[in-house]
Amino acid sequence: MADNWVESLADDLQRWADGRADADDGPIDDLADLRRVDVQGALLLLDLAREELRLTAPADLTPERLRELLLDVFPDEVVAGADEVPAILATAGTLLEFLGESGAVPAGQAAALRAELDRLAPEFAELVARTDTTERQAAAEVITAMMVADRVSLDDQDAVEEWVRAFEALPEDERYARTEEYLRQAEELVVPPVRLAPEAELAAAARASTLTSQVRALAEWAAGRPVTEFGDLGGDDAAAAVAALGLETPRRAPDAPVQDQSDLPELDRLWWAATEAEVLKTVGGVAEAGPSLPELLAGDDETVLGLWLRLFDAVAVPEHEGEDGLDAIELVQNELTGVLIHLYEQEAPSSAKVLADVLIEHVTAAYELSDGHAVATAARQALDWELADLAGWGALEVAGDGYALTPLGVWAVRELLVADGFVAPVVGDLAESTAADLVAGLAWHRQDTADEEIAGWLAGREAEPAAAELLEVMRNGGPGARNLAAAVLHRMDAEIAQQVRDAADHPLVGPYAAVWLNQKTGAPMELERREFAWMFVDTVAGMLETTEPAEAVAAALAGAPAEVELDAMIDEMWRCDHPDTPEVLAALGDHVPDRAVAKAARKAAYKARSGRGGA
């Protein structure tokens, strides 16, 4: 039968359904049976069988392929709710009736297919219900995150309901666009994974921090001192506090009188941090030790870290409101978060110059400056003071010619990032995950930390169950998930060879299985040229899910075997039965260095699109 056998079968299926309706003269309740003849639904099942299982005719639909269609392909390709399961199974049943009655499959085969459908129905229902629950949870998480991004308090039920009503009132296209934009922005709120020191070590560093000792000393010194109507120290007491604490004040304007606490920025910052963390409070115009002071002195590790984080948040990321009238010091403090994130994301220390460049880039992007050069010069000096303070507080350390976050600094910055909605993975968090969650989490990892995560995940599992999970991800996941699952599978030994061999007949797993078996067992499972082309497309498509096209192409070319002739493979790729072929060829056409090969890729991309009806 021709490649478009589903299209050829469509008219016969419609006539069969119409004839079945015309023949029915039973009571009105029997019309429920007629509603099960969902022609479009039946054609969808046939299309999935043709495209995903590569069936070339209806007679290729065996009981095993029917099981694969409904339990592997359908949940991955079709969004369905648990309440739709009866209708889907009814559609599948009437489709099998049609195939048998029309002679498209032999009568005995049709009966075997019907029996298999009855056997797999409970498993199918459970699978769809589980997938539906997962999708609903994912959708709920996105909606919740969108509300948080819109500054809606999740504790305010009225505000939540108002937001939901307004969102649901939007046209469908606008709801979709807003969700897509949020998800795009959310992808940018991802930082590389880090390793965290043990809690006891972090707490010891917090107790030894000068930030802790300065705030504690300030609270003890200030107890019983009068405060202004604004809740801070007057000029004389502020100067006395600086002297008593031995506090250096490089930010103080030279020879300027101390009229109030704000004229001593270092003291002012400590005072309000102590107040924010309730280490210090004011009652009736007098300063007193706050309820957190005893906990800062003698609290357990978790409590001390929580208090230190509140202090660090207040001193390292102060909020100076407004734009007009802010001096260089305040501009730098407002944008210091960018410096901290930069340090967090780097694998190696950063020099003071690099950090200054990062900060000035943030400042010039955020503010309209009348004299950018003068502000940049002042900002570099102000940043030097901030770096010195961060080092004194135990968040930063000098490393060679640069700076790096200390373990305490890494922990604190991560806590602040998470509070701001960032995805901030921790090395080791995936050890107890399912294979699907492991693969999803690995997408955020660098090679070194990914290796560590994979080793930890494999170490905690028996080989056969682990392989079964990974192969399931490869059957049901997209290109990126399939690539990563295959990479994890390659860390496993030949003891899982039979499982890989058994999975080799699956169209999405077969090429990867052949490579694995060749490498691990020396089994003579050679890849055909078209299979190799398919796997190359799948690999690049997976990279394109999380990487810019230029980077994806460069990585794919670097990882290709030396004997591969790219121009010959491109000629094979456009015929490849992979949904992402046009996009992969277009990326190659835009970013392959060899101009002749790039031109061939662009032509192949055109052929691939033309072959798919211009899709």
* Residue in 335, 342, 327 with CA at minimum distance from that of residue 374: 327
Asked if 19 and 12 count as a contact pair (C-beta separation under 8 A), the reply is no
Q: Which of 61-65, 102-106, 363-367 has the lowest mean pLDDT?
A: 363-367
Q: How confident is the model at residue 1 (pLDDT cuts 50, 70, 90)?
A: very low
What percentage of the chain's residues is helix, strand, coil (to nearest 5)?
70, 5, 30
Q: Are 73 and 117 in contact (CB under 8 A)?
A: no
Question: What whole-number distance in Å separates Cα of residue 232 and Cα of residue 98?
Answer: 84
Confidence of residue 32 (pLDDT cuts 50, 70, 90): very low
Q: What is the mean pLDDT of residues 302-321?
A: 88
Q: Does the structure show a pLDDT above 60 at 274?
A: yes
Cα distances (angstroms) measured from residue 398 to each of 25, 406, 408, 430, 549 = 88, 9, 14, 32, 37
Instruction: Give the whole-angstrom CA distance, residue 473 versus residue 466.
Output: 11
Rounded CA separation 494/475 (Å): 20
Q: For residues 276 and 278, what is the distance between their CA atoms, to the nearest angstrom? A: 5
- The pLDDT of 398-403, averaged and rounded, is 89
DSSP state for residue 609 in the 8-state scheme: H
Are residues 296 and 212 in contact, defined by beta-carbon separation less than 8 angstroms? Answer: yes
Other C-beta atoms lying within 10 Å of the C-beta of residue 252: 15
Residues 6+ apart with CB under 8 A from 96: 110, 113, 114, 117
pLDDT at residue 80 is higher than 80: no
Q: What is the pLDDT of residue 173?
A: 78
Q: For the segment 409-455, what is each residue's pLDDT rounded down to a tens digit?
A: 999 999 999 888 788 999 999 999 999 999 988 888 888 889 999 99
Residues 373, 326: Cα–Cα separation, whole Å = 16
Give pLDDT tens digits for 585-604.
989 999 988 888 888 888 88
Answer yes or no: pTM beyond 0.75. Answer: no
Q: Which residues touch 144 (CB under 8 Å, ≥6 apart)?
A: 154
* HEC secondary structure over 277-310: CCCEEEECCEEEECCCHHHHHHCCHHHHHHHHHH
Q: What local confidence, expressed as pLDDT, does residue 264 receive?
A: 92
pLDDT at 133: 65
- Is the alpha carbon torsion for 595, 599, 602, 608 positive or negative? negative
